[in-house]
Amino acid sequence: MTAQNQELTKAQQYNFNKLQKRIRRNTGQAIADFNMIEDGDRIMVCLSGGKDSFTMLEILMSLQKSAPISFELIAVNLDQKQPGFPAHVLPEYLESLGVEYKIVEEDTYSIVQDKVPEGKTTCALCSRLRRGILYRTAKELGATKIALGHHRDDILETLFLNMFYGGKMKGMPPKLVSDNGEHVVIRPLAYCREKDIIKYADMRGYPIIPCNLCGSQPNLQRQAVKLMLNDWDKRFPGRIETMFRAMQNVVPSHLADFSLFDFKSIDKSSGIINGGDIGFDKEDIAPQVVEDEDLVMEFDPSLQLNVTNI
């Protein structure tokens, strides 16, 4: 190996370690902030074969080794019998990790093809069927939590989708009770950026399984929102971080939902409502500086201090 290749390898390892540390830190912080994992939990980690779920499983396994509490992990994949699905990939990978796992085989593909008219999107019915099977599996396995691989970008995209198309200020909760009322669902990657996960998955070389085997078209509305946010991120670094911070810093008195704030009872005796509104003029907003960690200078071997020359 040449000296140049050695330096390149050293730089790659440095950048990988930094990226892994950031994802691990963000995941650990989300788990702590929302009390996602508790002592004695048995976590069913939903593994789709995509970059997000692979990353989530690996990071949770890493945190499991150093956590001050004890919890179990069991990886679960649903084989929906889609044509071309490489059924051997995930079992081989999970065996290599030494993690407990279960492959659930259910032919939902045929059901969806039979029920949904040609040309119509299959995603809604497929999602409903998949959700029911995973809830049933969690119960059978004695899982106390179900972990999904949604990340910060998914949460923001959902917020804008609901604002643009649904008329709601509603995102994607990091922790919730399942719609059948029987399970707690967690999203440990809630603080992680998608671009970090993409880089990490590429560096790790995960055996990614394509998500379009069923032939369904992507959600065009979500695609449009994703493109919009990606464009903002390129033109205004740090904006994604600022917008996500806003989701954690809500001021109900300065919105217009009277179910969240009692506007009708306001009179002179109510006093000043905190939040910064000055009544007659539009408020000046002081920019919130939030560092985009992706812009922090990466390791450059040429900038190393050579102590032998001192």
Query: Would you say residue 308 has pLDDT above 50?
Result: no
Residue positions forming the annotated binding site = 123, 126, 214
Give the residues across from 73 on adjacent strands: 43
- Stronger pLDDT, 275 or 78, i.e. the higher one: 78
Q: What is the pLDDT of residue 259?
A: 95
Q: What is the pLDDT of residue 72?
A: 98
Average pLDDT over the chain reads 86
Least confident of 4-13, 74-83, 274-283, 293-302: 293-302
Q: What is the pLDDT of residue 300?
A: 46
In a domain, 235, yes or no: no
Query: Would you say residue 296 has pLDDT above 70?
Result: no
Least confident of 66-80, 259-273, 278-292: 278-292
Number of domains in the chain: 1
In a domain, 159, yes or no: yes
Q: What is the pLDDT of residue 217?
A: 60
Mean pLDDT across 265-284: 72
Q: Which CATH number characterizes residue 132's domain?
A: 3.40.50.620
**pLDDT grade, residue 268 (50/70/90)?**
confident
Q: Which of 5-9, 88-92, 115-119 has the highest mean pLDDT?
A: 88-92
Query: Would you say residue 104 has pLDDT above 50?
Result: yes
Mean pLDDT across 232-250: 94
In a domain, 257, yes or no: no
In a domain, 101, yes or no: yes
Which residues, at least 6 apart from 155, have a Cβ–Cβ distance to it below 8 Å? 171, 172, 174, 187, 190, 244, 247
In a domain, 189, yes or no: yes
In a domain, 115, yes or no: yes
Mean pLDDT across 35-45: 98
In a domain, 254, yes or no: no
Mean pLDDT across 290-295: 60
**pLDDT grade, residue 299 (50/70/90)?**
very low
Query: Would you say residue 151 has pLDDT above 80?
Result: yes
Query: Would you say residue 162 has pLDDT above 80?
Result: yes
Tokens 């919130």 correspond to what residue? 288
Q: What is the pLDDT of residue 279?
A: 62
Mean pLDDT across 250-254: 91
Q: What is the pLDDT of residue 130?
A: 86
Q: Which of 120-124, 143-147, 254-258 has the highest mean pLDDT?
A: 143-147
- Stronger pLDDT, 283 or 243, i.e. the higher one: 243
Residue positions forming the annotated binding site for [4Fe-4S] cluster = 123, 126, 214
In a domain, 132, yes or no: yes
Q: What is the pLDDT of residue 42?
A: 98
Mean pLDDT across 147-170: 96
Mean pLDDT across 256-272: 89
Domain that residue 169 falls in: 7-221
